[in-house]
Amino acid sequence: LNNTAQDDQLFNISSIVNNHSEEVFEEMISNLRPLQLKAYNTVKNYITNNTKQLGLFLTGEGGTGKSKVIEAIVNFTRKYYGKTDGLYGPIIVTAPTGTSSNNINGFTYHSVCCFTRSNKSPTEQTYQKMGEKISGAKIIVIDEISLTSLEDFYKQHIAYSRALSTLTECQI
């Protein structure tokens, strides 16, 4: 299946402000362990103060709760910013494979960045389309980064930069 075509058929994700009631969200936060809570609070403080760019690397063995931290961050971000422009809303959640992106209710970065199997360079029109989709984003999450090559990480950087350059005002 073509992930880009699937994206076009999806409803606007930014319309989902918060998947959980306030009680469920508070319980989710209270169940985070100390280091998980520290990571969550780092992002929460960044969002509420927005003083500089944040690069956060969250690591741990399988089953340590990284996805729970991502879920808490996604819910807080959507609650804080509300509905924003673009397909993905205020937070873009990506991973390198369909399975890993499904585990975090996200998308493959190939889909978000409009990468194709042919490895042809994207056109300016492709970057404009991507720019429209990511226009409301404030945060980008890349899960399972260890499965991402340096080359693909660089390609994502270029794609986000080029897509954002097509917008009249840079959002991220």
Render pLDDT for 106-135 as a digit per residue (tens, 0 to 9): 999 999 999 988 878 889 999 999 999 999
Could you tell me which of 3, 9, 170, 2 has the C-alpha nearest to residue 87?
A: 9
d(CA 47, CA 73): 10
Q: Which one has a higher pLDDT value, 103 or 14? A: 103
Per-residue confidence at 20, pLDDT binned at 50, 70, 90? low
Task: Reply yes or no on whether the pLDDT at 7 is more than 90.
Answer: no
- What's the mean per-residue pLDDT of the chain? 87
pLDDT of residue 78 exceeding 90: yes
Residue 16 has pLDDT above 90, yes or no: no
Both tokens assigned to 12 = 């606007």
- pLDDT, residue 120, reads 84
* 78: nearest Cα among 138, 26, 11, 124: 138
pTM: 0.83
User: What's the pLDDT at 171?
Assistant: 52
Compare 151 and 170 and report the one with higher pLDDT: 151
